[in-house]
Chain A
Amino acid sequence: MAKMRPKPAPPSDQLRIYEARLDKDGGVRRVRQVSEVEAIVLRKGGGNVVVCGDSIKHNRRLAQSIEQQASGRWKRHEPHASAGTDALPHCQPETRPPEGHTFYETNNLKAR
């Protein structure tokens, strides 16, 4: 789905981006902190990243911005009930490749 141009992300010191991996139950685990540029490179290579912070709006905007730069056309997916209590919403390409996802934390759902 063609998306709107993402609004500017807030200052990066309010947000943290991590390389991430998915646990078997769908939970998202932080691996190491990365810059936005590194996150885009990771996403282009099919990896997972997660945006962490206290504001869902800011997290979502930055996740959209990363996915936009990594894959161009993207869509947003919400977690499914059977994906575990720690599953997170995410942006992913409209069509693959690249594989992987840009997850983001919400007010209630957090990365491990």
Chain B
Amino acid sequence: MKQTTSKPDDLDLKYFTRELYAKCNSTDEEVVDRAEAEWEKAIKDYRGHLRQLQPKLPRGARLFEKISLHDAELIDEPRASASGQWGRIAVAGGMVFDKSTIHLLRYELTDRIRRVRHKVAWPFSRKQVQWLYDEIDISGELGGCFVHRILFSDGSIALMPFKDVHIQAWPSELLQGISAHNEPNTSGRRARAAMAD
């Protein structure tokens, strides 16, 4: 697998940036007014970007247009398999999902996963890390491969370079046997196999 060094510009989201998110939470109402207008424009621009990207996207990644994991709690940090071929993230709940729903995202990686923790101040809680906003893009640096950038509520950003992604949803009770020593049912065994990479 080709290893690359990301440029600083690649280490933030392009539309829903950390800076814009912080401005939307400013204590200055005028700043918030401008930031919210900018955010609405960012949504419009990102949808245009996705429309252009759509024909090139692998089938699995097209689901990100329909599934919003905003507000989902991060329960398994972005990590790669021992071979580096696969990466995964697991989150629970979300704004439009019940807390008992777990989404497991498995990426077919084209490069190493990056987890960027900027040194600039982040005025929000670092507890209860949640999925805030994400973007799909093509990385020119990686020869036209895709990259999924995810901003979390602790201010960190995950960069998942991928050629395809598989998204599975599981009721959390199916996964309870993973860390305990219960014997799960058939669905639970499938879930456990998926989680175990």
Contact = CB atoms under 8 A, between A and B. Distances in A.
Contact of B96 (A25, A76, A92, A109): A25
Interface stretch (A9-17, A34-42, A80-88): A80-88
A106 interface: yes
Given A57-B33, A81-B43, A26 B27 contact: no
B67 interface: yes
A56 B68 contact: no
Interface residues of B, number: 34
Contact of B36 (A56, A83, A94): A56
B128 A108 contact: no
Interface residues on A, range: 20 to 34
A11 B168 CA distance: 47
B98 to A, nearest CB: 11
A109 B43 CA distance: 12
A96 interface: yes
A1 B67 CA distance: 27
B95 A94 contact: no
A78 B24 contact: yes
Contacts of B47: 81
Contact of A82 (B21, B25, B65): B65
A112 interface: no
Contacts of A7: 29
